[in-house]
Amino acid sequence: MSKVLTERMKMPTQAVEERICNFKEVNLGYTLEMAQTEADRCLQCKKPMCTEGCPVSVKIPDFVGAVYEGDIPKAAKILKMDNILPAVCGRVCPQEEQCEKLCVLGRKEKPVAIGNLERFVADWERENIGIASNASKEKTGFKVAVIGGGPSGLSCAGDLIQMGHEVTVFEALHEIGGVLMYGIPEFRLPKEIVQEEVKALEKAGVVFIKNYIIGLTETVDELLERFDAVFIGVGAGLPYFLNIPGEELNGIYSSNEFLTRINLMKAYKFPEYDTPMLSLEGKTVAVFGGGNTAIDSVRTAKRLGASHAIIFYRRTQEEMPARAEEIHHAIEEGIEFLYLVSPLKFNGDSNGWLKSVTIQKMELGEPDHSGRRKPIPIPNQIEDIEIDAAIVAIGNGSNPIINQTTPDLNVNKWGNILVDSETMETNKPGVFAGGDIVTGGATVILAMGAGRKAAKSINEFLKSKKWNDNNNIVSLPEW
Ligand code: FAD
Ligand code: SF4
């Protein structure tokens, strides 16, 4: 019997006029009743295409079925088998490009709201029964160092502790979570949620050492003297700049610096917190870029009082890599979009403060290597636009500190660590890597998937290490 088509359950949100004045989460989440109604739309396909679209193959129809039955603990258990951070992924994964894109319902109507259901289940678990913190009772005695407390490091640490190994995470910053803490703003991902996940790992026995920069405080080679294996998950935190004249003027930030000052250092609460920030009240703020970082920056500028918060993008909305939901929310919030423009130079006043940007108008040509139509300058279409502040959000590269202090580690010309894509092993025995430091800037779910893959290989490596050391195979807990 075929199901009657039903409307996708809308995600309740904070009213626009309220939310542009605060940093609280925009999406408010489903109630149980809403979640069950949405779960009822799922056709429980025998060959679920949605699961094929999920980078970590979450058993989507199974967890959605459990939501429909109202058995949320069961739904949480199913989700956690493949995704250790569902509260995060339910909020930030680009579902419209992954599971929801392949959902068969999407051929005739809107796909099942898989991300919203994932978020509901994770929030319900956290609020009602607490996040389960799993650790193996059988200890192996092996010690693993994880460098970086972002999604790749956390998921690697989470699996390794369950396998019975001792795990220490070394993090350069004073908070654990990587981009989840310093990049993605509170209005998209409340920091409390990330910290609850970190606490669950701590409870399971993972040791976190903050303010510890591998490459400065201690090198990878030094770590290898006191640990049996090392995982490098240091992300891609080095901002790219436009490299145009005037970029050194006062009032121009990289998106990394801007978002870190706001999210991690709470500059918007200055002087209560001691990080200052240029006041954006009543100012015109230009953000250059079209990805999640650009949209996060421009929506943050709006919340800081900018009278005009404008995205400058050299292609059109269709080619923007940011998540569709974030673009939609940005439009609702009154963010302005200037498409088909590329900055040529920044112009300043005699005191070195930014005054305007000179832009070149563009048109779209043939598709380039990324498959998107290439922006081409239109001759003689150049214009000056007055702006008070600029945020450059055109991507990030790898920080060279690990590579420079580990010269025998193989990296490509952009500084990304080279690994075997099946095992995440580097060329250095006992050293594994994953996440953005390997792929370049990607997504949370891919970083997590890489961390888990590495944990599995580290477990295998440690088994063989035991064999070599003692000439005797020990049985390690199954993963
Ligand atoms: P990171 O999250 O970068 O974590 C690396 C950690 O390593 C950091 O905490 C860093 O301080 C630490 N570290 C670095 N060097 C050292 C060192 N030498 N010693 C010790 N510690 C070190 N993805 C999505 O899927 N959806 C989104 O909506 C989304 N929005 C984004 C918004 C912004 C503003 C940004 C910047 C990225 C966004 N991404 C999004 C991308 C996603 O966040 C990243 O792909 C993901 O966080 C990568 O995880 P990671 O563990 O590899 O690195
Ligand atoms: Fe349900 Fe869509 Fe997955 Fe089919 S493809 S099982 S309808 S979520």
Give Cα separations from 337 to 308, 374, 394 (angstroms). Answer: 10, 19, 16
Distance from C-alpha of 9 to C-alpha of 26, rounded to nearest angstrom: 16
pLDDT at residue 5, rounded to an integer: 59
Q: Which of 88, 234, 401 to mutate to test the pocket of ligand 1 (most atoms within 8 A of CB)?
A: 234
pLDDT at residue 346, rounded to an integer: 98
**What string of pLDDT tens digits covers the 479 residues of the chain?**
456 657 999 999 999 999 999 999 999 999 999 999 999 999 999 999 999 999 889 999 999 999 999 999 999 999 998 888 999 999 999 999 999 999 999 998 999 999 999 999 999 999 998 887 777 778 899 999 999 999 999 999 999 999 999 999 999 999 999 999 999 999 999 999 999 999 999 999 999 999 999 999 999 999 999 999 999 999 999 999 999 999 999 999 999 999 999 988 888 777 788 887 888 999 999 999 999 999 999 999 999 999 999 999 999 999 999 999 999 999 999 999 999 999 999 999 999 999 999 999 999 999 888 788 899 999 999 999 999 999 999 999 999 999 999 999 999 999 999 999 999 999 999 999 999 999 999 999 999 999 999 999 999 999 887 655 555 444 444 43
Q: Which of 50, 109, 114 to mutate to test the pocket of ligand 2 (most atoms within 8 A of CB)?
A: 50
Distance from C-alpha of 101 to C-alpha of 16, rounded to nearest angstrom: 27
Backbone phi, then psi, for 419, in 5-degree steps?
-135, 165
- Fold assignment, 16-128: Fumarate Reductase Iron-sulfur Protein; Chain B, domain 2 (1.10.1060)
Distance from C-alpha of 26 to C-alpha of 361, rounded to nearest angstrom: 34
pTM of whole model > 0.85? yes
Q: Which ligand is nearest to the CA of 435?
A: 1
In angstroms, the first-to-last Cα distance of the chain is 40
Q: Identify the architecture of domain 241-392 in CATH.
A: 3-Layer(bba) Sandwich (3.50)
pLDDT at residue 131, rounded to an integer: 82
pLDDT at residue 239, rounded to an integer: 94
Q: Same topology for domains 143-237+397-463 and 241-392, yes or no?
A: yes
In ligand 2, which atom is closest to the CA atom of 111? 2
**Ligand 1 atom 3 nearest Cα:** 235
**Ligand 1 atom 23 nearest Cα:** 443
Distance 445 CA to ligand 2 centre (A): 20
Q: What are the domain boundaries of the chain? A: 16-128, 143-237+397-463, 241-392
Distance 173 CA to ligand 1 centre (A): 12
143-237+397-463 maps to which CATH number?
A: 3.50.50.60
DSSP class per residue in 116-177: HHHHHHHHHHHHHT-------SS----EEEEE--SHHHHHHHHHHHHTT-EEEEE-SSSSSS
Q: In the chain, helix, strand, coil percent, each to 5?
A: 40, 20, 45
pLDDT at residue 275, rounded to an integer: 82
Distance 443 CA to ligand 1 centre (A): 9
